[in-house]
């Protein structure tokens, strides 16, 4: 049976993979984490686009039926253009997160946390404004958040102080909803919530992405029926480190992570 392909710059996309496993328990998943080239958020638009094409080509070697770009940076640098290169359905994370934020906000003041590339692209701003022209978007780049997660720095004084600095524009802007615009960021939810306050709704787009994937597969009559699912994990570097962090994302250990020399 054909699998669902998922790629991210590192371990962050496992938040999406976990949601896919929960909502689509009979589907196989092929996950690729580009750990040798993480983070994507500091790279140029052209470089991220090239990495994305290479990652999709790698997943297509595994005969996947749909590809989920579980990386906000990759989704923000030109998803329509990426889609035009391939026949297989491709789902990004920007649209689903924006829809949920517009639905959740009460005062129409929405914050967006993301990598420099994601914020610079204004992808969330554009998507949100298309859904609600009256919404005010306050975006802030958080370039150290991905390295913090990749290095397992999820709390402590340094992380808290950096978070306070990054999130000041959102607090000053009185947002009531904040999009975690990078799949790494959910692991920093406790720190982000501590800074922004418990009343601010944090939007993690993984659930909406999984719902969209399910909808597309159902429309194409490609949903798997009751069967034992099989998940495979590939990285471009440091499989041991990936396995260690994966347990935090998935709640259980990941076995037999394979390193690939090139994608």
| 2: confidence class by pLDDT, cuts 50, 70, 90 | very high
User: What's the mean pLDDT in 126-137?
Assistant: 97
Residue 165 in this model has a pLDDT that exceeds 90: yes
pLDDT of 197: 97
pTM of the model: 0.87
* CA–CA separation, 227 and 166 (whole Å): 45
Residue 164 to residues 48, 159, 178, 188, 196: CA-CA distances in angstroms? 28, 9, 14, 13, 9
| 248: confidence class by pLDDT, cuts 50, 70, 90 | confident
User: What's the mean pLDDT in 234-249?
Assistant: 91
Contact 181, 114 (CB under 8 A): yes
pLDDT of 128: 97
142 is catalytic: no
Sheet containing strand 136-141, strands side by side: 136-141, 109-114, 177-181, 201-203
Name the catalytic one among 113, 182, 217, 235. Answer: 182
pLDDT of 262: 67
Q: What is the rounded average pLDDT for all residues in the chain?
A: 93
* CA–CA separation, 154 and 124 (whole Å): 25
Note the pLDDT tens digit of each residue in 12-63. Answer: 999 999 999 999 999 999 999 999 998 898 899 999 999 999 999 999 999 9
pLDDT of 41: 86
* CA–CA separation, 108 and 161 (whole Å): 27
pLDDT of 62: 96
Name the catalytic one among 71, 91, 137, 191. Answer: 71
Residue 77 in this model has a pLDDT that exceeds 90: no
* CA–CA separation, 124 and 94 (whole Å): 6
* CA–CA separation, 240 and 105 (whole Å): 40
Q: Which long-range contacts (CB under 8 A, 24 or more apart) does 256-260 make?
A: 257/233, 258/232, 258/233, 258/234, 259/234, 259/235, 260/32, 260/58, 260/234, 260/235, 260/236
Residue 4 in this model has a pLDDT that exceeds 80: yes
Domain ranges of the chain: 4-92+207-259, 94-205
- Thinking of the domain 94-205, which architecture would CATH place it in? 3-Layer(aba) Sandwich (3.40)
Q: Percent of the chain at pLDDT above 70? A: 99
Specify which residues 189 forms β-bridges with: none
Note the pLDDT tens digit of each residue in 225-238. Answer: 888 889 999 999 99
Note the pLDDT tens digit of each residue in 192-223. Answer: 999 999 999 999 989 889 999 999 999 999 99
Residue ranges of E strands in 157-223 = 177-181, 201-203
User: What's the mean pLDDT in 88-112?
Assistant: 96
pLDDT of 263: 67
CATH topology for the 4-92+207-259 domain:
Rossmann fold (3.40.50)
Contact 72, 8 (CB under 8 A): no
């Amino acid at each position: 049976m054909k699998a669902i392909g998922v790629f991210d710059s590192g371990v962050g996309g496992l938040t999406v993979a976990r949601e896919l496993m929960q909502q689509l328990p009979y589907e196989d998943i092929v996950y690729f984490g580009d750990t040798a080239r993480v983070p994507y958020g500091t790279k140029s638009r052209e470089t991220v686009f090239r990495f994305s094409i290479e990652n999709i080509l790698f997943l297509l070697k595994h005969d996947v039926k749909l590809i989920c770009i579980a990386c906000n940076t990759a989704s923000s640098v030109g998803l329509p253009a990426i889609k035009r290169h391939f026949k297989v359905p491709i789902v990004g994370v920007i649209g689903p997160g924006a829809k949920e934020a517009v639905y959740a906000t009460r005062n129409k003041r929405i914050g967006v946390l993301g990598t420099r590339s994601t914020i610079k692209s204004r992808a969330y701003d554009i998507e949100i404004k298309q859904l609600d022209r009256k919404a005010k978007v306050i975006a802030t780049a958080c370039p150290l958040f991905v390295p913090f997660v990749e290095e397992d720095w999820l709390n402590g004084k340094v992380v808290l102080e950096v978070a306070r600095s990054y999130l000041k524009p959102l607090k000053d802007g009185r947002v009531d909803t904040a999009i975690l615009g990078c799949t790494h960021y959910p692991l920093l939810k406790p720190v982000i919530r501590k800074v922004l306050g418990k009343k601010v709704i944090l939007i993690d787009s993984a659930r909406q992405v999984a719902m969209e994937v399910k909808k597309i597969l159902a429309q194409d009559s490609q949903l798997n029926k009751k069967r034992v699912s099989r998940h495979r994990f590939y990285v471009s570097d440091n499989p041991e480190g990936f396995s260690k962090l994966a347990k935090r994302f998935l709640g259980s250990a990941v076995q037999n992570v394979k390193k690939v020399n090139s994608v």
